[in-house]
Chains A and B, each alone.
Chain A
Amino acid sequence: MTSQPMVADQETRTPTPSAWWARLPWLRIGIVLAAVVAAIVLAYLRSGSTVVVTQAVVTGILIGGVYGLVAMGLTLIFGVLDIVNFAHGSFLAIALFLSYYLVAGMGMHPYLALLIVLPAMFLLGALVQRFVLAGAMGKPLENQLLITLGISLVIENSLLLFFGANPRSVSLPGDQGVAILGAVAELSRILAFVGALVLAGLLFLLLRRTSLGTAIRAVAANDAGAQMVGIDTRWIYMLTFAIGTACAGAAGVLVAPLVTIEPVTGALFNIIAFVVVVLGGMGNVVGALLGGLVVGLAEQLGALLLPGQSPLLVVFIVFVLVLLLRPQGLFGRSGS
């Protein structure tokens, strides 16, 4: 190493590296916030009651965090494996029933169930990817679509077979209403939100701060390039699908005390997760969390704006508007 050539690049397109906050889409964040404020004002004009509106906002944000966690798993799978996973909600349903079994059948505390359900769903995800989906990697989109749709049918009907169609529920010991910001929310709802945020934060740290996470993002960015630095992409695919499935599993445990547990409950979360993923930008993990909050708010405020309609109606109106005006999603990267 005697003589080092001094390489001076004459091209200067980008003079200084920009700080992370300068790369945030501030304008779009502002527009989304303005739309939320407008919806809140409209809801207030429509209902005439501050308490009702505050309640809707608090409930919307709390459930939105959980939607965000479910969608983070789905968007991660899409970003890395390029698979549209229609079985995501069904995995959540499995977690709901597992939780129910552990709590009602074995007397476990609803949140301790996480310690069993999370690894179990991780393992299930890894197995499904390795033995069912691995063969469809790189094949046309329809193949994967039909396979994941098939998996969801198998899961839903297996649950029906084993547990029957009777709705079940899990209750959190000591669950009660808690006054929060002038509204009242069940303790279980608050804890579900906090749990979802903590897990979302951990996933974010994994992706941003560890070399495994960087490898996952590298595979998402360019899988040929990843192979050329010696990353075994098959292994990353399996791991990512497992992590995504574990997100659905964790969300299942957290919402178990809040929902009626039926085989079809998963389908509802599946639809919402897809809306959130598109809103947040396909493959954008942070966008998914923000999209979750937007959908949670749209659902709750929508019930006030259009009383008597399905709360999903406004969610879909927002969805269609975003697809028309900004198909790459609210927080997606602009067309490049």
Chain B
Amino acid sequence: MLEVKGLSAGYHHLQILHELDLEVHEGEIVALVGANGAGKTTTLKTLSGLVRPTAGSITFGGDQAVGVRPSELVARGLVQVPEGRALFGPLTVEENLRMGLWTRRKEARASADLEEVFELFPILLERRKQLAETLSGGQQQMLAIGRALMTRPKLLMLDEPSTGLSPKLTWTVLDAVKTIRDRGVAVLLVEQNAAQALNLADRAYVLESGSIVLSGTGKELATDERVRKAYLGL
């Protein structure tokens, strides 16, 4: 579904990513783990068209995805939930969710999707008339994921969804990620919290200084000696 080959990118002559190869197939949860500053967020930004790559290719669903506007990529089904969530604070929960329908606003059955999101995160139904900025951190993360789901993504990219959440809420969010995958949406999960991400993922990549240094199934990497030492603190 998503194929990345030899991807290099950076900001102002500072190269961050070095010839990255990465793939996400349909129905998979793929984790991208790595230390702070390894280039995880830059990878996601490049994939969603916010940063222009200096070399390499990105194809999504068989189509070229380099040089395509972010809004167009969303319409094609490549959707990111950024770190920091980028919610519309002064808008209500429901307005935030409905904005996820923007690229499909001419379709008739869009409202049914709202019910699906409320089913996944019942708390959002309860708070739907409340302003997004008044929600707690966990609720905001659920809203950000819910808003992204409203766009009907084929591939959902989550940037550090567990940041700032209690361990309990982290599990809630990661549980939801599994449900999303079971609904047929591929997930690319970027996490600093490597242990949980590797346990959840079907496959995973380890990113170090802008290069992929390891890849394998989630289970393999979770038991890999080097990964355990470097990221799991074991």
Contact = CB atoms under 8 A, between A and B. Distances in A.
Interface residues of A, number: 33
A229 B102 contact: yes
B89 A227 contact: no
Nearest to A336: B133
B123 A233 contact: no
Interface in A1-27: 1-11, 13-14, 17-18
Contacts of A231: 71, 99, 102
Interface stretch (B52-60, B74-82, B214-222): B74-82
Contacts of B103: 229-230
Interface stretch (B19-27, B32-40, B172-180, B187-195): B172-180
Contact of B88 (A11, A211, A217, A336): A217
Nearest to B45: A224
A137 interface: no
Contacts of B85: 225
B102 A215 contact: yes
Given A7-B122, A225-B88, A214 B130 contact: no
B100 A14 contact: no
- The prevalent SS among residues of A at the interface is loop
Contact of A233 (B71, B82, B86, B121): B71
A218 interface: yes
Contacts, number: 125
Interface string B84-95: 011111110001
B183 interface: yes
Interface in A212-269: 214-215, 217-218, 221-222, 224-233
Contacts of A232: 69, 71
Contacts of B130: 14, 17-18
Nearest to B128: A17
B70 A228 contact: yes
B119 A4 contact: yes
Given A8-B123, A9-B123, A230-B75, A211 B91 contact: no
A218 B99 contact: yes
A150 to B, nearest CB: 29
B69 A6 contact: no
Contacts of A214: 91, 95, 98-99
Contacts of A211: 98, 101-102, 105
Contacts of A17: 127-130
Interface in B120-155: 120-123, 127-130, 133-139, 142, 147-148, 150-151
19 contacts: A4-B179, A5-B175, A7-B123, A8-B123, A9-B142, A11-B137, A11-B169, A13-B134, A13-B136, A14-B134, A14-B135, A17-B128, A225-B88, A226-B99, A228-B74, A228-B82, A228-B86, A230-B103, A232-B69
Interface of A: 1-11, 13-14, 17-18, 211, 214-215, 217-218, 221-222, 224-233, 336
Interface of B: 48, 50, 69-72, 74-75, 79-82, 85-91, 95-96, 98-103, 105, 116, 119-123, 127-130, 133-139, 142, 147-148, 150-151, 168-169, 172, 175-176, 179, 182-183
Given A5-B120, A5-B176, A221-B91, 13 more contacts: A1-B116, A5-B179, A7-B121, A11-B138, A17-B127, A211-B105, A215-B102, A217-B88, A217-B90, A225-B88, A228-B74, A228-B82, A230-B103
